[in-house]
Amino acid sequence: MTLTNKMKRMRDLMLKCSPNVYHYFCDKKLKEWILWQEIAESSNGSADNRKAEQAIEFSVDLYTKEEYSPTIDKIQEVLDDNRISFSYAGATYEPDSRLIHHEWRCEL
């Protein structure tokens, strides 16, 4: 799978969780949205002096005003159902925006 196809796949998976999905940035003031981005190549394999395999690390961030948002579990369910390796990096409260920020690290 090409890098661009992996990016499109991550976008499509996040759209199963919410209609408010953005790549890199969001300039809307919504009650809740998902922001995702590719971070780096996390591992690779080479053969015959060519890249044979490439795993990309993604960050998935949920910004919400809802304390127990159902989107939290939906993100994990979609990642798990699609065999995407992930870890929950935690949550922080951002007092300036009054948003709760949840973050996952995924590998595809």
Q: Per-residue pLDDT averaged across 74-94, rounded? A: 97
pLDDT band at 50 (very low <50, low <70, confident <90, very high): low
pLDDT band at 46 (very low <50, low <70, confident <90, very high): low
Strand order in the sheet with 32-47: 21-23, 32-47, 50-64, 99-107, 85-94
pLDDT of residue 1: 79
pLDDT of residue 52: 57
**Cα gap 84→101, rounded to integer Å:** 21
pLDDT of residue 76: 98
Verdict on whether the full-model pTM lies above 0.85: yes
Q: Report all structural domains of the chain as residue ranges with CATH numbers, in order of start.
A: 3-46+54-107 (3.30.2000.30)
Rounded (5°) CA angle 14-25-1:
45
